[in-house]
Structure 1
Amino acid sequence: MDLSTFWFLAIAFLFVGYFVLEGFDFGVGVLMRTFARDDAERRQLLGTIGPVWDGNEVWLITGAGAMFAAFPHWYASVFSGFYLPMLFILLALIVRGVAFEFRGKREDAAWRARWDWAILCGSLLPALLWGLIFANIVRGVPLAADHDYTGGLVDLLNPFALLGAATFGAVFVWHGAVFVALKTTGEVRDRSNRLASRFGPVAVALLLGFLAWLVVDLSRDAVTIGLGGAAALAAVAALATNRVRREGWAFAGTAAAIGLTVVALFAALHPAVLPSTGDPAGTLTIANAAASPYSLKVMTWVAVLFLPLVLLYQGWTYWVFRKRLAPVTR
């Protein structure tokens, strides 16, 4: 395996970690306003992600940084072509982070309600936009021979991308509901389990439709088909285990469904990193988008030295905060 392929796989791994971990963050953020009935329940939900949400975003920073260093042409084309969606994601994440910190600063219902709506919007908007972006990356966008994006915002709003947005949003909310059931006790646990059972079929139906479109229309490669089938099976297993109150297995199923879906998207993309629907010469591949061999070699040594430490630290964080949260005193 050459270093450019290694870094393509490494970036896929980083985005798998980001969507699996930040996915339930986004889901819990949406549920804080739509599911929780009062401030006590909202604080209980916030407590489930309070110790880990900012650490989960490190996966995005690392993934974007790896893309910039390993595939600068890919980074430039994606961040210029998807400038508006990326900008909205950045603004939503900033607002969401501020809301987490500020909602508890005043004992005022109106003050907390405003920040709760900010958390909802700051969680739902990135979930939808990430689905839109990744669906377009796999489907391809109009690129000139010099790899510059030549389309407009309307080109990004194609049916497959809109289905991707709906799928990511629904699956993340379902993932968040399962996580709340896993991390809480009492009435919140019971209601979140029921919500996951009722909303899960909607999320699974969207996911199955998205995966079917991917393997039928965009990539009939055996690896992509196998990964898509495994993601579908994991989603169905998550539904079944949640119905019998096995929240740990249900969460493992939703996490596997998300992770395998992201891997299937990268498998469908390979060996391209950004297909061109315009000039075929504009397609970016692992070969023509990669940085110099020396840069890739330096990056590899840095990753080998420091990535295990980051993984150990984050694993330790989840272990420390592994216990369920009791209802918050009203």
Structure 2
Amino acid sequence: MAQQIHQDSALLTLARKLDKSPLPSSDRACLITLPDGSTRLGVTQVVNFVHHGGEFAGALFGRVSFRFAGENSELSNAFSPTHDVAWFIVDHKNGVVQFGPQDGLIVRHPGLGIGSYIVGQLLRILSGGTAHGSYKVVTTELPQIALDALPAALRAENERRIENVFGNAGFYLSSAAGVRVIGARKVAELKPHWNWEKVKFLNPGQLIDIAANSINGCRSAETARGALSVQVEALKNELASAADNLEAYKTELRALSERRAADLLQAAEREAQLVSGLEDAEADLFRVTGEMDEAKAAYLQLLSDPARATATEIRSATHPSSPHFIIELGRQTRILAWALVAGCIVLGAAGLAIQAFR
């Protein structure tokens, strides 16, 4: 490994000052492919500035910042000074290049190829500038602040991303003396590299086409939105009509329920009346049955009485000339006959009551 060249504090101070200064810049568009296959427009701000005066007169300062475009971006129409940004400064007098920021390249959306794209665009500026290929790259200690902030489960994945991003760009990573450092032997070993399938650079013509397609898509979406609004309004009307019908059905159902309750109450009262009548009829039947039993006993007693039988014969003999045969029933016999008739009447009434109850 070549001898490590450590950073110059004065050069680093100038780079920090230029990074915070309002410098001329230009914006470039790119298209990010998300894991679900959809795309999102991104913007990179590029600074390519030559410093004049002082100890580092003619020093070249380059910076690339990234942000997503649109209303959902983290900073609307602005770039973060600490995230998704990287820079370099070239010291022509000493022939060295210093990269920054000191806290490292912090990417807000890892796994989308944004980090590789920022480093690739930064190296494009460097290779197209006044830096000679033999210039040395200052070795920088990898910051641990961002790494320590990550959960333990994500640190290995983050290390893998660091090795891919900077290793593919020509940097080396070393842990000499227990310190994790990054650097390069010379500028000529560095090369722009990023995943074109994840991040696609857009020229102005492509950007215009995407903007036109977006406008057409917005118009189509607006038209579809109008049609959906009409459908929604129709559905609201149907829903209101259905709600009215439901309320009417509820009212009708309540009326039917009340009517049924009244019918059930009336049926219960009628049932109670029929049961009461049936009980009275049964009582009368028991009473008449008892009377019939008494009448039967009296009749049998009458038949067994010889004196009454003789009297009957005498009465029959006193009217020998009568052409008609007259049978005269005794008092007990008449009672028995009438009891039989009453029993039949009661049984008939009870039968009619039972049929009505059914």
Q: Larger radius of gyration, structure 1 or 2?
A: 2
Which is richer in strand?
2
Judge same fold: TM > 0.5, yes or no: no
Higher relative contact order (CA 8 A, sep 6+): 1
TM bracket, shorter-chain basis: under 0.3
Which is richer in helix?
1
